[in-house]
Amino acid sequence: MRARFARSGADTGLTATARRIIRLNYGFQLLFNLLWWMPVFYAFQKAAGLSDAQIFGIQSIYYVAFCLFEIPTGLIADRIGTRNCLRAGAVVMTAANLAPVISASYTGFLVHFLAIAAGRSLTSGAASAYLYDGLRAEKCDEHYLRAEGTARALGLAAKVVCWPLVGPLMALAHTAPYVLSAASAAGSLACAVALPRLAGPDGRTDRAADRRDGGRRGGAFLRDAGSALRCVASSRWLALVMAQGVAVFTLSRICQVNLFQPILLDHGIAEASHGGVLAAMTVAEAVASARPQWLSRRLPPVAWVSILSLALAGTLAAMTLGGPWAVVALLCLFAAATGFAYPVQRKLVNDAVPADAPRATLLSVESIVDRAVCALAAVAAGAYLSAGRLDALLWHSALATAVLLGVFQLLLRSGLAERGREAHPTETMPVRAETPKAVDADGGGRRRSRP
């Protein structure tokens, strides 16, 4: 009886619609990003007869395509509605995962990755925008941070559980990873279809907004693009928050994707152990992503992102000094810092977006900036590795991050962004620390008055 009472008390902070939005968002994020083929796609393509040049050439095309697709897809989300954009992304992702099953050739894999880029770009800004606007419409926006973090954690946990099964499944059916990925994407489509319509400030649902005259004319896309660019140019706070997030995204992507194996090999850790290390890192990131409220509320979120970015840089530099076990521990620490930083940074950007601005388009602008910088960093990383200067790369990455954050703090303290911060006072509010008794499995909690 006491447990049931506690549960009902925790649920009082969320409306029924808000709980539905959070739960369906969990399902969508988990299934949409559950790519069973991720651990084996290189070997799968080699077995299909592709050369290393072809495999990495497709990857290069993928990153360029992702940046290009981000431009129109953010505009599309703001015109047809974020819920419809999530549905479209799930449909594209389902078809994309079936492409290698239909044609295991260079053309098939190229189409596969181009469609993956299109599907992910359709949802990259729309998913976060829908969750944020949905909870705000229900007056439950204080639960956004935990909901965003928990969704990311659940997706990471699913990968830890599913990825070890890929090898045995491939022994039964060679194309099983791609078929299962398509089935997962189809499940995310079911979640997107079940999402409720959102009521806008004028009381109209997103379906009504979708039918506005502006959504039927090509000029509306240009207006949204111009509005987004003007918003970034006029809001110094939004521009600074986006710039600060570049450090988190670039460091995490370069380390966890490009430098993960070179670092382990450089310290004598055999390839057979790489899967276990990756699983440990994923667990660390999942736990941290699910609990951003563990961060002390004595510091504002913007300060926490800077501190966590410095922690990422510091762990990279420290990897040049330690032995194999120390490097594994530092990689797990790196992953945990990434897990804490992502939901906090996402909330900062969402809070900085004006209420009448095209939110999904602006989130796509942030994604374009992040991936553009990441692409440049990947080129530099390749040059360092080709010259055998891994340690120098890690140190220079740490120093570049420290310089970037130093400039950010100078701009912040100079009062350059004060006008933007005053326009969005919630951005400077501390991360809410909630006790386990006050929150439930959906990421909700009791509605509390601000101190």
* Residue range 380-415, pLDDT digits in tens: 777 787 788 888 889 998 898 889 888 888 887 776
- Taking 70 as the threshold, does the pLDDT of residue 65 lie above it? yes
| pLDDT of 209 higher than 60 | no
Q: How confident is the model at residue 333 (pLDDT cuts 50, 70, 90)?
A: very high
The third-level CATH classification (topology) of the domain covering 7-202 is Growth Hormone; Chain: A; (1.20.1250)
DSSP-derived letter for residue 256 is: I
> Is the pLDDT score of 23 beyond 60?
yes
* Residue recorded with tokens 């601005």: 357
Mean pLDDT value of segment 31-44: 82
Amino acid in the structure at residue 25: N
366/241 Cα distance (integer angstroms): 10
Residue-level pLDDT at 181: 94
**Would you state the pLDDT for residue 91?**
95
Token pair of 125 as six digits: 């800004």
102 or 380, which is more confident? Answer: 102
Same fold? 7-202, 235-443: yes
Record the tokens describing residue 69, joined without a space.
């697709």
Helix, strand or coil, per DSSP, at residue 88:
helix
How many CB atoms within 10 Å of residue 443?
A: 26
CATH 1.20.1250.20 correct for 235-443: yes
What's the alpha-carbon Rg for the chain, to the nearest Å?
Answer: 22
The percentage of residues in the chain with a pLDDT greater than 70, rounded to a whole number, is: 78
- In total, the chain counts a number of residues equal to 451
Domain layout of the chain by residue ranges: 7-202, 235-443
Q: pLDDT band at residue 127, thresholds of 50, 70 and 90?
A: confident
What Cα–Cα distance (Å) separates residue 430 from each residue in 244, 339, 342? 17, 18, 16
For 292-301, the pLDDT digits (tens) are 777 877 888 8
Residue 302 reports pLDDT greater than 90:
no
Contact 82, 98 (CB under 8 A): no
What pLDDT score was predicted for residue 388? 81
Residue 1 has pLDDT above 60, yes or no: no
Give CA–CA dist 204/225, Å, rounded.
23
Using one digit for the tens of pLDDT, what is the confidence trace for 158-180? 888 887 787 788 888 888 989 99
pLDDT at res. 211: 43
Q: Residue 374 corresponds to which tokens in the numbers above?
A: 């990441």
Give me the pLDDT at residue 411, please: 81
Answer yes or no: is pLDDT of 263 > 70.
yes
Which pLDDT belongs to residue 74? 63
